[in-house]
Amino acid sequence: MSAPLNGKKIAFLATDGVEQIELTRPWNDLQGAGATLELVSLKEGELDCYHHLDKAKSFPVDSVVSNVDANSYDALVLPGGVANPDALRMDEHAVSFVKQFFNKGKTVASICHAPWTIIEAGMVKGRTLAAWPSLKTDIANAGGTWVDEPVHYSDGLISSRNPDDLDAFCAKLIEVLAA
């Protein structure tokens, strides 16, 4: 099996309330493609994942967002869930971390409600992205365009609507990072 992402280091930014499949599926696919992954969160210890509104598994945090820099990574993955991006957008370090990736022209991958953090970072204006349908107005108010597509890629941003889009989301993420 080839490992097209050998040498690539990817940060996953998440906190309690993250939708488990939106964390684990891209993680497993990227790991299988040879990438080195790091789970970055708001605090040390573990973060609690959810399956919709039901608590699921907990996962160990590798790094705290206040102690990391985008220069250490090739890309950023922002899984969704409702509570996860809502908490992230309230943390100045998380917002700054997201902004760094955009300012450095690095790949950012966002699914479901994750664009809330991108909106808070001021990085949606002029961009087109897919997200959970309830974010359509938030994206428009931030100067972006919402699209109803399984995966959308432009200007370094890979975005999808929901867990049903994970096949397309993960495939596009690997394709872009392998290029």
DSSP 32-80: HTT-EEEEEESSSSEEEEEETTEEEEEEE--EEGGG--GGG-SEEEE--
Which of the residues 49, 93, 113, 152 is marked catalytic?
113
- Please say if 113 is a catalytic residue: yes
Token reading at 1:
């099996």
**How far is the C-alpha of 142 from the C-alpha of 77, rounded, in Å?**
21
112 part of the active site: yes
Please identify which of the residues 49, 112, 152, 170 carries the catalytic annotation: 112
Angle in degrees, CA 101, 106, 75, rounded to 5: 85
Name the residue with tokens 């488990």. 20
Contacts of residue 12, Cβ cutoff 8 Å, sequence gap at least 6: 23, 26, 27, 37, 38, 39, 40, 76, 77, 78, 79
Query: How buried is 2 (Cβ within 10 angstroms: 0-12 exposed, 13-18 middle, 19+ buried)?
Result: exposed
- CA 107 – CA 152 distance, rounded (Å): 13
Residues with active-site annotation: 112-113
